[in-house]
Amino acid sequence: MAEKNLLDEITDCLKDELLREPRAAVPDPVLRDFYTDYPRPPKKEAAQPSAAVREQVPEKPRTVPGTEEKKVSPPPPAERVLFSDPAASMGWEELAQTVAECRKCRLCETRTNTVFGEGDTRAPLLFFGEGPGADEDMQGRPFVGRAGELLTRMINAMQFQRSEVYIANTVKCRPPGNRNPEPDETEACRPYAERQIELLSPEVIVVLGAVPFRFLFPNVYGGIRSQRGRWMEYRGIRVMPTYHPAYLLRNPAAKADVWKDLQEVMAVFGKKRVPGRRA
């Protein structure tokens, strides 16, 4: 209990400091907007499970402690030639069309729309989420619900516009009831997400939450709680894992951690960061 109070205190201090001292070149209102805990709108359908339910079931370790994999190297060329999926050689248009027609897993039975991804296909920054929720399924666009609104505020706080980055998900169809996607569903979508990353070839990927983290780093010991905020590498691309916006809606205190992670990313792009961030 004492430990929890201390953590809360540290988080509050960080939050206060960030809000009081506009040392970053982030316009104050933008940062305040990110930190504001907007009230939840009244529920339309009483039976709908909350989007937040999807986040952060603590993960079981997959490898023995101490054997963490720091870098994931690309598979050797021969392996790619022998086992590559047709998606591996597609351009953006063909890939989007293939996803729109995909029936490789059960999620196609319940979806309204596929959600391919959106943004600048030459963007240096990719936000990589989990999968569409109800709003995304309806609109065919990623991150347009409540979590999406918060993601937009995160992007703005980083001094980017949504249109300047790319936003994609691990799976392209909504898992019913906003459950986490099953492993066979993420694997069915793997060639699409991998090809998107390859075509985009961003400088940085911000990984949002446990599902995309495990998807990109299946052999890394520890989950998003222990790995967030640590630079990683996926096929030569720098990766910053952080919490999913839906998790932040349930745990606003974790915004201070996410803001630290996002400032690391901002620094890569020469955007001003708040001094005093731990090394």
Binding-site ranges for ligand URA (CB under 6 A): 115, 129-133, 136, 142-143, 145, 147-148, 169, 246
Which is nearer to ligand URA, 88 or 105 (by Cβ)?
A: 105
Q: Spell out the residues 6+ positions from residue 182 whose beta carbon is closer than 8 angstroms to its own.
A: 175
Tokens of 119: 């943004």
Closest CA to 112 of 197, 190, 172: 172
- Closest contact distance (angstroms) between CB of 143 and ligand URA is 4
Q: Helices 255-268 and 146-157, interaxial angle, to 10°?
A: 50
Minimal distance in Å, beta carbon 278 to ligand URA? 28
CB of 22 to ligand URA, least distance (A): 30
In the complex with ligand URA, which residue's Cβ is closer, 132 or 223?
132
Q: How far is CA 221 from the centre of its chain?
A: 19
Cβ at position 104, least distance to ligand URA in Å? 19
CB 54 within 8 A of CB 170: no
Residue 133 or 202 having the CB closest to ligand URA: 133
Sign of CA dihedral 262, 144, 251, 65: negative
98 with 139: CB under 8 angstroms?
A: no
What residues form DSSP beta bridges with 166? 119, 126
Tell me whether residue 115 or residue 206 sits nearer to ligand URA (CB atom).
115
Provide the minimum distance between the beta carbon of 50 and ligand URA in the complex, in angstroms, as a whole number. Answer: 12
| Beta carbon nearer to ligand URA, 134 or 253 | 134
CB of 34 within 8 A of CB of 154? yes
Pick 143 or 215: Cβ nearer ligand URA: 143
In terms of Cα–Cα distance, which of 237, 247, 246 is closest to 216? Answer: 237
User: How far apart are CB 186 and ligand URA at their closest, in Å?
Assistant: 12
Residue nearest ligand URA by beta-carbon distance: 129
